[in-house]
């Protein structure tokens, strides 16, 4: 009923009144920005991220490292004077094991690989077979008779992550349908220095499960050129990958309770797990840190909004938003009290805009809110909030927002050994933290919830 009332009094207030109300936050917004970008909190989110990733390293779903990461963040945020609790969930536990690949013919060459998440392993002696190189699913279908008993190499060009990732996700099952023994998939990246990029892959029900790994852009193109010359290519692949029983884990939740409507929530988030390579600094250590930093900034300024600000650090996002889906199942009963859900999972480089999904009326309010970011020149509101972890809420009609950053290099490092602190910039993280804090605080403190 409270939510229904909040929505109904929105319709009774003139939009000009709401715009005036939002504009009244200019001073508070400037205080938050000054603290994050120039003040005592300058570079704090970067330092927190470095301390965390240097201490823990990567933290794949089900691993001891992920357990350690959750404990680390629970303690760090508690020491920061925030109200922290853990919510238990079950998560997948896939283990890479030892893995290697080499080309035997037409010449000897070792191949840099990373097995794909959920892949089965090979027999202990490995799989040695002739290779079929294709550049698309269509070509695989056309040449299906050649795939039987072969290792299928996909050398698909990179168009965009959203489009090209289908080869990583479904390549194994598509090749298995044609009798392939294993798949090697060109890494989903626009740039490579012989770096394989891992990620989750999905077996189709009722299709034989065959081993699947990613290879480098360079090796995929090399084998494609050899195949074009009519050369016979033979590869030996060995993978010790296996899936263990689901593990116990937690979503990490930290709050500043609202003074007037504590039951109503603005949610900020990033995910705490990563792949088992690199440091997971970019994906998604940065998103997790700015979601903590936003609450720190608000607390440091002695601010307390009308509604509750809740930061959730998700577990097992990389396996398909597993922790977040269980959070949604548990909390959707209170759907009407979720005002805005926010997620940062495309890097914390220099912010460009806020992406937003919601009603036209809510979009008008958010367009006023981002005007408060004039001091850091990020007043743009774009369509389509995105994020694996907040998508169930957005699909159910809750307004959602995500951070659009200068991410042209994001997929260079994504899911690879290259995802380390070296790709992070303290100044960019200051700006992301300021944007995140201003948007969350103002929306949580407005008289009315965003209209659905």
Q: Which two tokens stand for residue 421?
A: 């602190």
* Distance in angstroms (rounded) separating the CA atoms of residues 325 and 302: 33
| Helix 286-300 × helix 426-445 angle, to 10° | 60
Residue among 367, 368, 358, 352 at smallest CA distance from 403? 352
Do 447 and 365 contact (CB within 8 A), yes or no? no
- Out of 174, 317, 318, 368, which one is annotated catalytic? 317
Tokens 């079950």 found at: 90
SS (H, E, C) 374-390: HHHCCCCEEECCCCCCC
Residue among 368, 335, 358 at smallest CA distance from 439? 368
* Distance in angstroms (rounded) separating the CA atoms of residues 11 and 452: 11
Do 376 and 435 contact (CB within 8 A), yes or no? yes
CA 195 vs. chain centroid, Å, equals 20
Do 10 and 361 contact (CB within 8 A), yes or no? yes
Do 184 and 151 contact (CB within 8 A), yes or no? yes
Do 281 and 48 contact (CB within 8 A), yes or no? no
Residue among 225, 240, 224, 222 at smallest CA distance from 109? 222
Buried b (16+ CB within 10 A) or exposed e, 237-255: bbbebeeeeebebbbbbbb
- Please calculate the CA angle 162-167-169 and round it to the nearest 5 degrees: 80
- Please calculate the CA angle 248-250-254 and round it to the nearest 5 degrees: 170
Do 343 and 287 contact (CB within 8 A), yes or no? yes
Give every strand in the sheet of 151-154, ordered side by side: 109-111, 99-105, 234-239, 127-134, 151-154, 182-186, 212-215, 113-115
Does the active-site annotation cover 317?
Answer: yes
Task: Output the DSSP codes for 98-115.
Answer: SEEEEEEESS-EEE-EEE
Active site residues: 317
């Amino acid at each position: 009923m409270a939510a229904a009332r909040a929505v109904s009094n929105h319709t009774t207030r003139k939009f000009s009144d709401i715009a005036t109300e939002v504009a009244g936050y200019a001073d508070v917004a400037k205080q938050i920005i000054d603290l994050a970008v120039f003040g005592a909190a300058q570079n704090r989110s970067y330092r927190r991220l470095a301390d965390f990733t240097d201490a823990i390293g990567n933290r794949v779903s089900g691993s001891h490292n992920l357990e350690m990461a959750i404990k680390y963040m629970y303690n760090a945020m508690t020491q920061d004077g925030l109200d922290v609790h853990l919510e238990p969930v079950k998560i997948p536990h896939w283990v890479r094991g030892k893995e290697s690949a080499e080309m035997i013919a037409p010449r000897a060459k070792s191949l840099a690989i990373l097995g794909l998440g959920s892949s089965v392993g090979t027999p202990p002696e490995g799989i040695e077979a002739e290779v079929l190189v294709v550049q698309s699913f269509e070509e695989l279908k056309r040449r299906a008779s050649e795939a039987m008993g072969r290792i299928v190499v996909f050398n698909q060009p990179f168009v965009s992550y959203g489009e090209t990732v289908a080869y990583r996700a479904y390549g194994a099952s598509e090749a298995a349908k044609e009798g392939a023994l294993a798949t090697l998939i060109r890494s989903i990246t626009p740039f490579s220095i012989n770096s394989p990029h891992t990620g989750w892959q999905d077996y189709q029900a009722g299709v034989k499960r065959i081993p699947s790994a990613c290879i480098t852009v360079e090796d995929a193109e090399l084998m494609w050129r050899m195949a074009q010359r009519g050369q016979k290519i033979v590869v030996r692949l060995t993978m010790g990958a296996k899936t263990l029983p689901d593990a116990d884990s937690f979503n990490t939740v930290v709050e500043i309770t609202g003074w007037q409507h504590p039951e109503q929530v603005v949610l900020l988030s990033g995910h705490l797990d990563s792949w088992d390579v690199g440091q997971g600094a970019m994906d998604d250590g940065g998103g997790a840190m700015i979601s903590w930093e936003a609450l720190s900034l608000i607390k440091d300024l002695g601010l307390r909004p009308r509604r509750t600000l809740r930061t959730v650090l998700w577990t097992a996002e990389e396996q398909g938003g597993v922790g977040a889906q269980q959070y949604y199942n548990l909390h959707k009963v209170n759907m009407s009290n979720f005002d805005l859900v926010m997620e940062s999972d495309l890097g914390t480089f220099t912010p460009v805009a806020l992406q937003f999904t919601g009603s036209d009326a809510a979009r008008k309010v958010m367009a006023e809110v981002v005007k408060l970011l004039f001091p850091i020149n990020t007043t743009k509101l774009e369509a389509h909030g995105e994020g694996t972890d907040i998508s169930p809420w957005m699909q159910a009609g809750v307004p959602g927002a995500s951070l659009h950053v200068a991410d042209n290099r994001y997929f260079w490092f994504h899911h690879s050994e290259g995802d380390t602190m070296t790709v992070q910039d303290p100044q960019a993280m200051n700006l992301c933290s300021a944007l995140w804090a201003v948007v969350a605080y103002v929306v949580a403190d407005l008289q009315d919830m965003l209209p659905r």
